[in-house]
Amino acid sequence: MELRVLQYFLAVAREGSITRAAASLHLSQPTLSRQIQELERELGKQLLNREARKITLTEEGMLLKERAEEILQLAERTENEIASAGAAQLSGRVYIGAGEAYSFRLLARAIKTVQAKYPKITFDITSSGSGDLFEKMERGLLDFALVFGPVDQTKYHMIRLAEEERWGVLMKKDAPLAQKEKITPMDLADQPLLLSKTSLTDSTLLNWMHKDRDQVNVKDTYNLIYNGSRMVEEGIGYALTIEKLINVTDTDLVFRLLDPPVSAEVHFVWKKYQTLSKAAQCYLDEVKKIMRDTE
């Protein structure tokens, strides 16, 4: 498989049309159709469902789309690292993954400091759950990650952040529970809850509530708390989330901590035995300095 052909395939997947994809790539429609057909013959699988008005991906096509995006990202990253290796001024792109955490401000502070010294260093930030971030690091798509919970120290270096992230409930000011200073498991019994998809794969909150998954009234789930907060504003339910992720000042929302308290350890991690780019090493050095200063 050629990288160029993978780019063609992704254009077709994105546009849902050979005609529109060909136009975006500045290719003739017959040329693009032939390239995709040759890719299908090479793989021995049909990648596209060719319908009258639209093109959709087969199961094999969806798998290739996911892998092609990773392959092209890794290829671009490798090219950039090699190109910047001999540059007169330190440059390059650093890839960081992070769960939603107030502690990310420390990583942002390090980014600001590094870019003040080396303006040609850029950063790519991915927001996701810890499981997905570890997987991306294994595939070489991330240099570093900010994750919750335990870390396999046989595979990863880590720095534990001094402060822990505290869980609580985001709700409307006029909600019945808003009158309480802290929220207990009993308070949330049978209440419509909004939970992050990540928290559903982690037993921390369920253990705190002394409930199994099917005993909790999970109204809806969200990926990013900003979207979850909009659902709270509409009165859909109570969102369990990390403290300080949403600024409730001058809003119709309030945040209340859990009682007994629930905290999550946060770690900054990177793979052992990997060779970091000069830009990534520069960033790591700055993160270590900031972490020492905040201890």
Domain boundaries, the chain: 3-70, 87-163+266-294, 165-262
Planar angle of CA 266, 268, 270, nearest 5 degrees: 140
Q: What backbone phi and psi angles, to 5 degrees, belong to 236?
A: -75, -35
Q: Residue 121 CB: number of other CB atoms within 10 A? A: 22
Strand partners, 257: 168, 182
Confidence of residue 72 (pLDDT cuts 50, 70, 90): confident
194: helix, strand or coil: strand
Task: Please indicate whether residue 245 or residue 1 has the higher confidence score (pLDDT).
Answer: 245
Tens-place pLDDT, residues 199-240: 776 778 888 988 887 888 888 988 889 999 999 999 999 999
User: What superfamily does domain 165-262 belong to in CATH?
Assistant: Periplasmic binding protein-like II (3.40.190.10)
Task: Please indicate whether residue 250 or residue 206 has the higher confidence score (pLDDT).
Answer: 250
3-70 maps to CATH 1.10.10.10: yes
Confidence of residue 86 (pLDDT cuts 50, 70, 90): low
Is 210 exposed, middle or buried, given 0-12, 13-18 or 19+ CB atoms closer than 10 A?
exposed
Strand partners, 94: 123
**Cα separation values, 78 from 31, 84, 271, Å:** 29, 10, 17
Region of residue 144 (left: phi > 0; alpha: psi -120 to 50; beta: else): beta
What residue type is 161 in one-letter code?
Answer: L
What residue type is 23 in one-letter code?
Answer: A
Tens-place pLDDT, residues 22-42: 998 888 989 999 999 999 999
Instruction: Identify the pLDDT of residue 180.
Output: 95
Sorted by sequence, the CB contacts under 8 Å of residue 99 that are 6+ apart come out as 127, 128, 129, 130, 133, 146, 147, 148, 198
Q: What backbone phi and psi angles, to 5 degrees, belong to 200?
A: -75, -25
Structure tokens at 26: 């500045």
Domain 87-163+266-294 shares a fold with domain 165-262 = yes
Task: Please indicate whether residue 294 or residue 111 has the higher confidence score (pLDDT).
Answer: 111
Residue 1 has pLDDT above 90, yes or no: no
User: The domain 87-163+266-294 is classified under which CATH number: 3.30.1310.10, 3.30.420.40, 3.40.309.10, 3.40.190.10?
Assistant: 3.40.190.10
Q: Residue 269 CB: number of other CB atoms within 10 A? A: 24
Q: What backbone phi and psi angles, to 5 degrees, belong to 265?
A: -75, 145
Instruction: Identify the pLDDT of residue 131.
Output: 85
Confidence of residue 87 (pLDDT cuts 50, 70, 90): low
